[in-house]
Amino acid sequence: MRFCDTLMKEYLRGQLRLLTDPNQGRNLVREYLQARILATLQRSGAMVPLAFHGGTALRFLYASARYSEDLDFTLEHAATGYDFRAYLRAIQAEMSAENYGVEIKVNDQKVVHSAFVRFPGLLHDLGLSAHHAEVLSVKLEVDTNPPAGATLVTTVVRRHLALHLQHHDRASLLAGKLHAILQRSYTKGRDLYDLFWYLSDPNWPSPNLELLNQALAQTDWSGDRLTPANWREVVAGRLHTLTWEQAVSDVRPFLDRDGDVDLLTLDNLLQLLGQSD
């Protein structure tokens, strides 16, 4: 059963009353909208061809302590009725029916299909912005030619509402994050925080190296093939090249607990990798 408009807005306002930091309020509203979008995708059949992955998947499925901005998917079963624009129409219809102002900007002319689902005025309505026209956006991305090798699982999870999601398994999620760290052209602190979060869990499995090597090959990796014997050393070498001050400023606004940023250091990550001096 879907909530009516009044209950949906009251739920959000109730959650916001528990917070004192306006930035955390913005993060929470975006996360709630992400949950609503995921629920619509689920009802539209999108979770048959698509698999959820990335930082928001880590938070929704495994309770990562940082907020994330985007919803990232891979197209794993192209023959099962994938229709990106139909999913976006469903999102717009459902949100508009509940008196959310919704605008969608889509780009599906490249391998990665992307769209911004924009909510103008919502932050002002909720008392989080003095500007009537300020826009809060959720970005969706679908890689329509993902690297082979991901292991897929389905999970029922509750985050704001109950969701049934197809997604990359834990080893494949770690592989995706390692690929981002090794190949991204700039320092992104959110990548490094996620890596810290993965590695600090002693029960998290080793990365799916088949997926990682396939992803590296897709993006013209010039280094050695990664193996159980060398992947930690290769990642450690990459960490030495990054700008750590920039990393901290990037991730700080997205953390549940501001103090966690003090743990995000090169020395700590090298220790977790078993590569400290």
* pLDDT one-digit tens code per residue, 125-178: 999 999 998 999 999 999 999 999 999 999 999 999 999 999 999 999 999 999
| Tens of pLDDT, residues 17-36 | 988 888 999 999 999 999 99
Three-state DSSP class for residue 259: helix
Q: What percent of the chain has a predicted confidence (pLDDT) above 90?
A: 85
Check pLDDT > 50 for residue 274.
Answer: yes
pLDDT at 12: 87
Beta-strand pair 103-107/112-120: antiparallel
pLDDT at 78: 82
Q: CA 90 to CA 46: how far, in whole Å?
A: 11
| Tens of pLDDT, residues 241-272 | 999 999 999 999 999 998 899 999 999 999 99
Task: Give the Cβ contact number of residue 7 at 10 Å.
Answer: 11
As a CATH number, domain 1-168 is 3.10.450.620
Q: CA 156 to CA 32: how far, in whole Å?
A: 17
Check pLDDT > 90 for residue 83.
Answer: yes
The domain locations on the chain are: 1-168, 169-277
Q: What percent of the chain has a predicted confidence (pLDDT) above 70?
A: 97
Mean pLDDT, the chain, rounded, equals: 94
pLDDT at 3: 46
Q: Token pair for residue 210? A: 């088949």
Torsion angle in degrees (nearest 10) through CA of 84, 115, 134, 92: -10
